[in-house]
A = this chain, B = another copy of it.
């Protein structure tokens, strides 16, 4: 039942408060004899780490991953991997004045309502540090996937920041193109405009949101389940469980609701092309909850970061009105660049889990 778990076969449990001893993840359901490169895991953590530049939180965490179990000479033993990252730059004193104040659009109030207690500093499990466990596990998943499905590519990018939007081709975008810009938008000119937008908000003591696009290329047909565990349902859950998300689309998304069936339907073609078995890909690579071999395309909306420096009205635990003059702590004016590896990690976790689920039930038949 517990809510700190994700995945049915390749199944992770994350733990750790922002200002506690460590954050991390235990992965159960790991296939044995898989090569895992911890440097590769570290690379993913480095991509989501704060303190990378002007645009993100200045909190300095080296975020060095330590593997406590499950690996021997870089090979999985088939036993649980426990990966931890120590918290080293926690500054609880920054949060002193916040013990009894509910920050607007933060989880302070709801955490108190649910648990009757909350971490005295740092946001507890609602902190972005919670995602370290996910990203580490997602990096492990991506390495196992790479061996099992060599053609698989998972690429996420910043598609829009506030009102600035890039047009990105999901068939050709690469991780290299994404990472060449600090803001992780693969279109250089638009990336510049996004950076200006973020800096402008920061200068105003404000924050901005945006949209992340993601594509999975090279996914075979047959992943996903026909009813509750539709591939798009599991992706929706995975991505809507990231902090600050407000919306999810697959394929044609909300725009598709404005089309007629004759416009929206994807005709099947005799030979697989760029869109897999179909001439077009409004389905987003999933039909009836199951992948069809075309690229899986999706978009996730992130709200602007709740922590801003501008004064805000709020109340104390005792329901007294107060003005909060600048949320203390170190925060990103825009979470999207750091959220790229989070999105990729969650997508890899969903795909590996469904791949192993298919594996479980395949008793010797060949596909279509």
Contacts and interface: CB of A to CB of B under 8 A. Distances in A.
Interface in A72-96: 72, 75-82, 84
Interface stretch (A47-55, A184-192, A226-234): A226-234
Interface in A230-282: 230, 232-238, 240-241, 243, 245-254, 256-271, 277-279, 282
Given A301-B249, A301-B254, A29 B361 contact: yes
A106 B66 CA distance: 30
Q: How many copies does the complex hold?
A: 4
Contacts of A330: none
Given A268-B315, A287-B109, A313-B267, A31 B362 contact: yes
A363 interface: yes
Interface centre among A17, A227, A287 (most CB of B within 10 A): A227
Interface string A7-46: 0110101111100111110101111111000000000000
B258 A209 contact: yes
Given A68-B15, A227-B4, A268 B104 contact: yes
Contacts of A256: 209, 246-247, 301, 303-304
Contact of A5 (B15, B228, B234, B314): B228
- Kindly name the residue among A130, A201, A236, A312 whose own CB sees the greatest number of chain B CB atoms within 10 A: A236
A166 B351 CA distance: 37
Contacts of A1: 1, 8-9, 11, 29, 357, 360
A367 B113 contact: yes
A234 B248 CA distance: 13
Contacts of A33: 115-117, 363, 365
Nearest to A130: B227
B292 A363 contact: no
A317 interface: yes
A5 to B, nearest CB: 6
A228 B126 CA distance: 11
B3 A228 contact: yes
Nearest to A313: B267
Contacts of A112: 368
Contact of A32 (B16, B163, B266, B365): B365
Contacts of A363: 31, 33-34, 144, 147-148, 359
Pairs A-B, 6 closest by C-beta atoms: A107-B288, A3-B225, A2-B28, A360-B360, A3-B229, A207-B261
8 contacts: A21-B69, A31-B363, A109-B268, A114-B224, A147-B363, A208-B261, A228-B241, A260-B304
Given A20-B68, A228-B237, A243-B288, 9 more contacts: A9-B361, A15-B82, A21-B68, A68-B84, A77-B125, A106-B287, A114-B226, A232-B240, A251-B303
